[in-house]
Amino acid sequence: MSEVVSYYDDVPRCSFCGKTEDQVHKLVTGSNVAICDECIELCVDIISEDRLTQADHDSVKLISPSRITSFLDNYVVGQAHAKRTLAVAVYNHYKRVNMQIVDGANKLSHAIKASDDLLAEVEISKSNVLLLGPTGTGKTYLAQTLARIMNVPFTIVDATTLTEAGYVGDDVETVLQRLLNAADGNIERAERGIIYIDEIDKIARKSGENTSITRDVSGEGVQQALLKLIEGTRATVPLKGTRKHEEQEMVQIDTQGILFICAGAFVGLEDIVRKRLGKHALGFGADWTVSEMSDEQLLEHVTAQDLADFGLLPEFVGRMPVVASLNSLNENDLIDILTKPRNALVKQYQKLFAAEGTELVFTDEALHAIAHLALERGTGARGLRSIMENILEESMYVIPDRDDVLRVVIDEQVVQGHDSAQLELQ
């Protein structure tokens, strides 16, 4: 009976509110339909509200740096400076990710309503993290714990297993495939995850290396291949297998929201720092404290140029603006690791023995002996579990077949292999 566009005296009206073009600023007309600028703004507001609701659902729940550090203290002993640096970096990264999600939801309304905010067009760059420190100081465990705090997917990859595309080995894109698997195939969750690349120092090109005609496929070439992923790009990733297989099902993953944490021991980097600092400490009145600095103190003064001199590409270093060094662990630190964290190894084995109705006790001398043994082996905290397994193997073998053991006592002689664990019977 009536058209979608109402015409009274040949005057077009908005199909939604019925206002004429004289009553509104703008009336957009089409074939038998029209809409005014006021109704367009109303529709934009409705759609934007829905998008913001979805954006809030997709956002990562932010935890303040101080709370992140407090949480880390429950699981990781020492390394206060590294914890603080990581906490700030992770908080800022996911704040940036959330801001991008909200900005994306607001794009439609921003297109309709001009913003006077001078910061509206400012884009925040990614700040990936580089961890320096000896093996067994907790670099990997820190990253794992951070991922658990933020409730995001996490994967670990060894840089030495990666090669350039087209060569035997893992392409750098397989790193994203592992993260996607950790996210149970959910692309949106994977795009908010953390990728930990270990042994990154092993792909640094040392001076004088690679002078042969053979191509470097696992060193500088891998750094080049990682550049785009770390900076932020849309990468094509196979769901299964590798891109070397034809007819693979592929998906697109945006790495803008993925936090990359690279880590390595960087043996010899302290000599580069010492040499650089020493150049400024020559002549009369020179400060000789440079020569007295420990390796750990020197690593606290690392610059981008030092890392480039070590063999990392300057472009690669530029994508790792947050650098944190971890200190070597001493005997007291290792004892604290054994006993204090929420998931301390001693507590874990005590829980295993308690399930058999047996109490497990370590003397103070035994704990010192275990820590001393780990230091002798040069494995740091990483070697503590294997030492504990070796010490407790006999007891864990015997206890399940007995119901008369009240307590198992581990002393220094047991740790050193001179005696068996003491079994106190009921």
Q: In what order do the strands lie in the sheet with 359-362?
A: 359-362, 405-410, 422-425
Q: Residue 37: which region, alpha, beta or left (left: phi > 0; alpha: psi -120 to 50)?
A: alpha
Does pTM surpass 0.85? no
Q: Are strands 405-410 and 359-362 parallel, antiparallel or unpaired?
A: parallel
Greatest mean pLDDT among 100-104, 174-178, 240-244: 174-178
Is 36 annotated as ligand-binding? Answer: yes
Name the more confident of 362 and 42: 362
Beta bridge partner(s), residue 13: 20
Q: Residue 405: which region, alpha, beta or left (left: phi > 0; alpha: psi -120 to 50)?
A: beta
Q: Is the pLDDT of residue 3 over 50?
A: no
pLDDT attached to residue 78? 85
From 99-108, 132-141, 248-257, 306-315, the region with the lowest mean pLDDT:
99-108
pLDDT attached to residue 130? 95
| Residue 387 φ/ψ, nearest 5 degrees | -65, -45
From 157-161, 297-301, 368-372, the region with the lowest mean pLDDT:
297-301
* Residue 185, Cβ density class (10 Å: 0-12 exposed, 13-18 middle, ≥19 buried): exposed
Q: Is the pLDDT of residue 348 over 80?
A: yes
Query: Of the candidates 325, 343, 372, which is a domain's last residue?
Result: 325
- CATH number of the domain to which 230 belongs: 3.40.50.300
Share of the chain above pLDDT 70, in %: 80
Same domain, yes or no, for 362 and 309?
Answer: no
pLDDT attached to residue 156? 93
Query: Of the candidates 303, 325, 347, which is a domain's last residue?
Result: 325
pLDDT attached to residue 5? 46
Q: Is the pLDDT of residue 345 over 60?
A: yes
- CA 30, CA 7: separation in Å to the nearest integer? 13
Region 21-26: what's the mean pLDDT?
A: 84
Q: Is the pLDDT of residue 416 over 60?
A: yes
2 belongs to a structural domain: no
- CATH number of the domain to which 391 belongs: 1.10.8.60
pLDDT in tens, 296-337: 778 888 999 999 999 999 999 999 999 999 988 899 999 999
Same domain, yes or no, for 49 and 64?
Answer: no
53 belongs to a structural domain: yes
Query: Of the candidates 325, 360, 385, which is a domain's last residue?
Result: 325
Is 18 annotated as ligand-binding? Answer: no
Q: Residue 319: which region, alpha, beta or left (left: phi > 0; alpha: psi -120 to 50)?
A: alpha
What would the two tokens of residue 95 be?
């704040």
Region 355-381: what's the mean pLDDT?
A: 93
Is 134 annotated as ligand-binding? Answer: yes
Q: Is the pLDDT of residue 200 over 90?
A: yes
Q: Is the pLDDT of residue 50 over 80?
A: no
pLDDT attached to residue 109? 47
Q: What is the mean pLDDT of the chain?
A: 82
76 belongs to a structural domain: yes
Q: Is the pLDDT of residue 113 over 80?
A: no
- CA 24, CA 22: separation in Å to the nearest integer? 6
1 belongs to a structural domain: no
Is 262 annotated as ligand-binding? Answer: no
Same domain, yes or no, for 201 and 247?
Answer: yes
pLDDT attached to residue 217? 45
- CA 396, CA 389: separation in Å to the nearest integer? 9
Same domain, yes or no, for 94 and 172?
Answer: yes
275 belongs to a structural domain: yes
Region 152-168: what's the mean pLDDT?
A: 78
Name the more confident of 121 and 17: 17
Is 43 annotated as ligand-binding? Answer: no
Same domain, yes or no, for 78 and 100?
Answer: yes
- CA 395, CA 314: separation in Å to the nearest integer? 53
Is 136 annotated as ligand-binding? Answer: yes
C-alpha angle 118-122-125 in degrees, rounded to nearest 5: 160
In angstroms, the first-to-last Cα distance of the chain is 96
- 3 state SS of 398: helix
